[in-house]
């Protein structure tokens, strides 16, 4: 058998085994996709920073630097280390705009991947940022707490119309997270106490905004509806005796005057004082019960709530299981500072300027299922009626405000741009068009 010795030597050389590809270690599901931490979890805290990072931040956030520069840098780093989803980003950007920060894309600030190769981390961070503070606004007062209260209690509820507790927390938790970042990194130590107050306002708004939403969603209760039917109000105007006109598309049970009388009698008898119950009884027999709508007020501020005792609640269950137990709601006159002033006569305006706005105390009766959503300091915008027997009633809740309700003019400046002078050519075109 013959053969080439070279072929024999080649066959004896071991063939190297193919290299195995290294498997990429998979991150746990808790750190991937939708389950990945966002940085806004309840117990989330920023990770400890290195000594080098600490030294860098000491220079970056030194009080000698303008506050606008420090805030801009803090916003860039706050957003970089968190996963801000679209819904949260929209709420957060509106908060920044409300506070006077421009969040629109920077003109001619785009940078491609090739351009980033020659940049360090700081340059890349600045190039990708979309927030900026107009240096021409340096004369404005900086008040973190006022902006938080104005945004969360005045602007946010009516711009976003949050109807769930999660939607409310989306705004309050995000805002509080940014304020906590300012404290943790000592961005503006001269406003430390003010930022602490702003964080407390976020906590207050979280609970109160949800109670406001629950109360306004209910509309009104049977007791106040019954008073409106019997004594005056919207329900009185549209009432049809014994529900003789029926809407074929409406299958709900309508309240008749007989039912309304039962609701009012039980409410006053169980929750009312002896003086109110007695006055109501005597005036009802004499036919002298009258009600008037209070003018020149926006609503009332809650000063206290009183729930029924267990024996009174049991009386409702035994004697009127078809009715909702009624508690007592105390209030006083409220004037919404965001609304325009009333058109008063010169004499009335002089009287108000001399003695202040007239304030009156109110006593309402409200079903406990709604009373549980009320709290001292709550502002309720509604039409208030006064009965001549010592108590009041109100119609549908139009709006409800937090105890820290603070309307500001900041929202008028959202999207505002500095006017530009018209060129001579433009002026000529406008005059020719006329």
Tens digits of per-residue pLDDT, 168-182? 999 999 999 999 999
Whole-number pLDDT of residue 369: 93
The stretches in the chain having pLDDT less than 50 are 1, 30, 107-108, 116, 119-120, 123-125, 127
Distance between CA atoms of residues 373 and 298, nearest Å: 20
Q: Residue 191 — φ and ψ, nearest 5°?
A: -115, 25
Q: How many Å separate Cα 190 from the centre of its chain?
A: 27
Nearest Cα residue to 326 out of 311, 313, 342: 313
Q: What is the pLDDT of residues 392-422, one digit of tens each?
A: 999 889 999 999 999 998 888 887 777 777 6
Non-local (6+) Cβ contacts of 93 within 8 A are 103
Q: State how far the Cα of 40 lies from the Cα of 178, in Å rounded to an integer.
A: 10
Dist CA 410 CA 280 (whole Å): 48
pLDDT for position 340: 85
Q: What per-residue confidence (pLDDT) applies to 106?
A: 56
Contacts 24+ apart (CB under 8 A), 57-61: 57/185, 57/186, 61/185, 61/186, 61/187, 61/188
pTM for this predicted structure: 0.80
Q: How far apart are CA 199 and CA 192, in angstroms?
A: 11
Looking at the DSSP bridge assignments, the partners of residue 328 are 306, 365
């Amino acid at each position: 058998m013959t053969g080439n010795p070279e072929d024999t030597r080649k066959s004896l050389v071991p063939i190297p085994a193919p290299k195995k590809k290294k498997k990429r270690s998979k991150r746990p599901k808790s750190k991937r996709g939708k389950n990945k931490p966002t940085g806004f979890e309840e117990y989330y805290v920023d990770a400890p920073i290195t000594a080098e990072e600490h030294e860098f931040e000491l220079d970056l956030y030194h009080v000698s630097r303008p506050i606008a520069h420090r805030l801009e840098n803090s916003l860039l780093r706050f957003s970089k280390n968190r996963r801000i989803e679209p819904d949260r980003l929209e709420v957060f950007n509106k908060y920044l705009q409300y506070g006077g920060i421009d969040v629109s894309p920077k003109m001619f600030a785009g940078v491609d991947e090739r351009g980033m190769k020659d940049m360090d981390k700081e340059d890349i961070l600045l190039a990708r940022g979309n927030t900026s503070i107009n240096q021409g606004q340096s004369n404005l007062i900086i008040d973190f707490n006022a902006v938080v209260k104005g945004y969360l209690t005045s602007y946010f509820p009516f711009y976003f119309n949050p109807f769930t507790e999660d939607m409310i927390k989306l705004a309050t938790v995000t805002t509080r997270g940014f304020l906590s970042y300012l404290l943790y990194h000592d961005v503006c130590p001269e406003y430390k106490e003010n930022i602490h107050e702003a964080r407390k306002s976020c906590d207050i708004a979280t609970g109160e905004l949800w109670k406001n939403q629950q109360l306004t969603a209910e509309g009104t209760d049977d007791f106040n509806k019954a008073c409106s039917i019997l004594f005056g109000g919207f329900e009185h105007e549209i009432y049809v005796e014994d529900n003789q006109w029926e809407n074929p598309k409406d299958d709900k049970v309508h309240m008749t005057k007989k039912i309304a009388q039962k609701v009012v009698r039980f409410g006053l008898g169980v929750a009312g004082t002896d003086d109110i119950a007695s006055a109501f009884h005597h005036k009802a027999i004499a036919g002298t019960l009258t009600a008037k709508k209070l003018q020149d007020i926006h609503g009332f501020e809650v000063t206290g709530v009183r729930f029924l005792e267990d024996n009174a609640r049991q009386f409702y269950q035994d004697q009127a299981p078809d009715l909702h137990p009624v508690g007592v709601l105390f209030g006083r006159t409220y004037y919404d500072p965001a609304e325009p002033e009333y058109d008063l006569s010169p004499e009335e305006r002089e009287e108000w300027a001399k003695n202040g706005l007239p304030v009156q105390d109110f006593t309402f009766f409200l079903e406990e299922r709604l009373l549980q959503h009320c709290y001292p300091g709550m502002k309720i915008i509604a039409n208030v009626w006064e009965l001549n027997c010592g108590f009041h009633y109100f119609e549908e809740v139009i709006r409800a405000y937090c105890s820290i309700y603070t309307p500001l003019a900041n929202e008028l400046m959202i999207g505002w741009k500095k006017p530009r002078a018209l060129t001579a050519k433009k002026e000529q075109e406008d005059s020719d068009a006329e």
